[in-house]
Structure 1
């Protein structure tokens, strides 16, 4: 085991993936010569050469179009979009090409060996163009998998599973935690299952659900609630698409209450899909309305970031309201 931050854990996963298969290539804006804007790919070009870890032009549609072509002809393509906010020029290539490639060819061709890495979310005073959480846009697209880790251990195991999965995967990395989250990570190869949520803490009074950087928030709120005698079950969704309905339903049937927290704005966020599904699955077990604690329905602000975010205090107040309904 080694003490790694989230960035180093991602770098370790990429290193393992490139070492095991000479057809694995890593590319994106500035990823080659100095490791990308956050240094996630540091040292890979020196180790594996410019043909396998290289810079691309500053054109996201081109990056993913190129990645689709590589994956279609048998390469393991790991494409980086520098910020998740910049993924939208590549939206057509992702949702109309990558996601549908296998379906429209009757499985004669596919781009299943494509992984798109991109940092998402706020907390770095990045303002409206470097703070967004766009996971819900892609959750509406059959044919994709969408994965979001919460810490270094999860990041390495989930990234290796994403790279080896036979479907195109978007891997959102919580940039606020890149250097802030540090933990023990095995130096060797390991994988964590996609499509499976993790119960981080068991409880009896309310289920708290989140993903990525928001996990730290709900865990802090759960600790505050425990001082009031409220027992919280804390779950990390980990995979947005496909998501683990069974684990969440089982928890809510036990606790009778559900609170979902996301960084993204409230309206049409993925928390809405979870709330609708769990209401349908667990209606007769619910003791209170399902609560959502989310970002606001405005562009992500710079000066008022702390007021905008769904922090531990907002989650704590929502826990009390839900339990006392």
Structure 2
């Protein structure tokens, strides 16, 4: 038997339909629901970091294995990597990801594909799904910090789920990036470029932070009006913000609970945050836990679940096969030892 592996470069992934944000939103929500129903195996990601001479990480590598059952029936893994050197030079993406899909019975790999933009799309979609269930229905203003790739997809996805959204106030240390998104979304999303973090988040109904900062920079007094704070990175909100929340919601608590860089670590160590104080988003989606209640302030933290990537990647693989996209590779002509 000569197994066929479909190789999809980034352009193939795009041509197979990745830029369908409505579709990605549905897939992300379905993955959360299936996880809540016990149909997905999604162990915590493993990570190794390589540090610079200054003692801060310069690159890191993460493995995210997953099995999705039900009508998907797919095993897969995302190999995710990040480089601060790439971020500084601008010559390569900061994050470079790859996805491998396998047959769950024969364990043969069936697809290898670029996962970089899959990560971007599902991350933006996951924040929007959180906003769909956690934001006040009349939320009109979003304050967004970070105009990078995740900022782009998050703004795009938010515009699909916040039906009353009138304005996005956007700040990035690199004003050029903010201006690029302003032009990209012109006529689709009303973006106002802010001159500071405070200006962007003040008076916003929803605050979203999507940066690589290694220290907190959003102060509690700036977000007193906000009823929902969505944090993608690790070090963005000062400790007082989640400490003062009426409710803490996360994508998956166990990995975040033991993450040494989590914004929750000081609260956990001091005994101010217990397991029973945290609600997983997937339980809200599956109606095992209640959603928003009145005017409460909700703090949501996402660490990223591999099942979202594999759900989207499996769709891309099936669509690429139907469209005849990609290149066929062979793992062997004949296996030497069986």
Scaled to the shorter chain, the TM-score interval is 0.3 to 0.5
Which of 1 and 2 has higher RCO (CA within 8 Å, sep 6+)?
2
Give the TM-score, by structure 1 length: 0.33
Structure number with higher helix proportion = 1
Structure number with higher strand proportion = 2
